Amino acid sequence: MGFPAAMTGYRSSSQLYTLPMLNLPLIEAVPNFSEGRNEEVISRIKGAFELPGVKVLDVHVDADHNRSVFTVVGTPRQVEEALVDAIGVAVELIDVSKHEGVHPRIGAADVVPLIPLKNIDVGEVVRIAKRIGKKVNRRYGLPVYFYGEAGSRELPSFRNVGFERLKELIRTEEYRPDIGEEIHPTAGAVAIGVRDFLVAYNFLLDTDDLNVGREIARRLRGSTGFLKRVRVLAFMLESRGKVQISMNITDVHRISLYEIRKTVEAVASRFGVRVLEGELVGLMPGFFADETLSGFLSMGGASGPMTVEGAMSEKFSELENILGALGSRLPKAGGGMAGGVALAMGVALIRKVAVLSRTDVDIRELDGYLYEALELANRDMACFEELMKAYRGDNQDLLRERLEVCVRESFEMASLPLKLMPAVEKLITEGNKNLISDVGIGLELLRSGFNAARYNILINLKGVDDAEYRSRVLKEFRQLEEKMIFYYETYTSRIAMEL
């Protein structure tokens, strides 16, 4: 696209709008690996998450705990694949039989919690957790414990015994894994769970007396003290010469960090101990980080986003999610969705030329088509899901109904490009000649969306036994296709003459 030295006099649209998002599923994973000192190992693990549609939002490394906590978001199937690979790297490079660190652990890839973020239910995330468990057991020989929504146990009930004790207890009824029988000699075991948001937060105390720290922790933790639904441990940090109170806040909807901070300060003061600073481990959900956060808490030198939402807006784009979904095993993200996205890009490019040209092309009308294209992408995904349910249900009447719905949706997708042709005609004739190539590219994208609809109509018609229905649909579609071919060939020829 070429721009002249000056483009004064061209009109622009003052309308500010937010495009709807595609209804793609998104999950978060917060895997904890038993390595916080070897940068090469941590880097190798991080490299396993470099897949399309997957983004590492944060890595919290702690040498005293000898532990790294990754915060990862992405398309469910891609996150699943990346987690299996990352666990494999941990199995290869981390020997927990020689591990030294204050944090309890049972394995190299110690704990792998999954959290549904949007457009996915807990049941599907549980199925993902189960698949990960089966794969890591089969590939790496790891015994697997499921916890939270994925199992019947709570994480502390088996993780806090540690690797050494688990070697002795793994064959007992209480500590028998959900998958596998023997502990891996160097990689231990892995805990895989599904849960809601959890916030991990540490407080550094101005004392080197671990017994005092443990008593403070006892009076704080939910099972024995003031802070319900908060897990609390005390550790001695050799690097600081101070005691650390380490917390997992398991119900972030009923308590704030400000309340927790005040409670910790009150309990510690009874022992003549001050709270020196606080430290967020990983990220927290946005609703938990209220306006008073920075005023009341010391965040321990946080240099980047502290919330999942903030990190996502900075590091993870909708485009990455779309491409990750298209390239993954996610069934509903297929050609129809890609066709809708192609249409949306085509409309957007036509819109760009319109706002930079002296024409009376209706920008608001183009905006409506842009929304319609993205909605068609969402409807195609929903249609495919309903079609798959009908196939699994083996109900022929329902299947026929679903196939016809999908055909109608594809007809709407094929019809949308034709609505743009008056605008394309006007922009070729009257539009900014420096942007004529963009009109051509926009036309190509509209044609791609049309062809996506064509392919989906043809494949769905194969599933319909009614020959009369198939014939009628194909006849109607040929009428659309003839128009599209006419416009496409006419306009591309005219654009070529301008170039």
Catalytic residue annotation? 103
Going by C-alpha positions, the residue among 130, 126, 106, 101 that lies closest to residue 116 is 126
The enclosing H or E element of 145 equals: strand 144-148
User: What's the CA gap between 356 and 9, in Å, rounded?
Assistant: 9
Nearest partner of 58 among 262, 280, 230, judged by Cα: 280
| 3-class secondary-structure state, position 135 | helix
Q: How far apart are CA 376 and CA 499, in angstroms?
A: 33
How many residues belong to the chain? 499
Bridging pattern class, strands 67-74 and 144-148: unpaired
Cβ(424)–Cβ(350) below 8 Å: yes
The CB density around residue 142, as the number of other CB atoms within 10 Å, is 27
User: Which residue in 446, 479, 461 sits closest to 406, CA to CA?
Assistant: 461
Q: Which of these, 332, 346, 313, 293, lies nearest to 484 by C-alpha position?
A: 346
If DSSP codes are grouped into helix, strand and coil, which group holds residue 256? coil
Alpha helices (H) in 162-247, listed in sequence order: 162-169, 210-220
Residue among 268, 260, 258 nearest 226 (CA): 260
d(CA 436, CA 494): 10
- Tell me which residue of 270, 254, 269 sits closest to 222, measured CA to CA: 254
- d(C-alpha 485, C-alpha 499), whole Å: 21
Residues 50, 9 contacting (CB under 8 angstroms): no
User: CA 125 to CA 193: how far, in whole Å?
Assistant: 9
Order across the sheet with 199-205: list the strands: 230-237, 242-249, 199-205, 275-281
- DSSP label at residue 108: S
Q: Which helix (H) or strand (E) holds 2?
A: none
* Number of Cβ atoms within 10 Å of the Cβ of 438: 19
Residues 64 and 61: their CA atoms lie apart, in Å, by 9
Angle between helices 467-498 and 396-430 (to 10 degrees): 20
What CA–CA distance (Å, rounded) separates 426 from 420?
Answer: 10
Token reading at 248: 């997992």
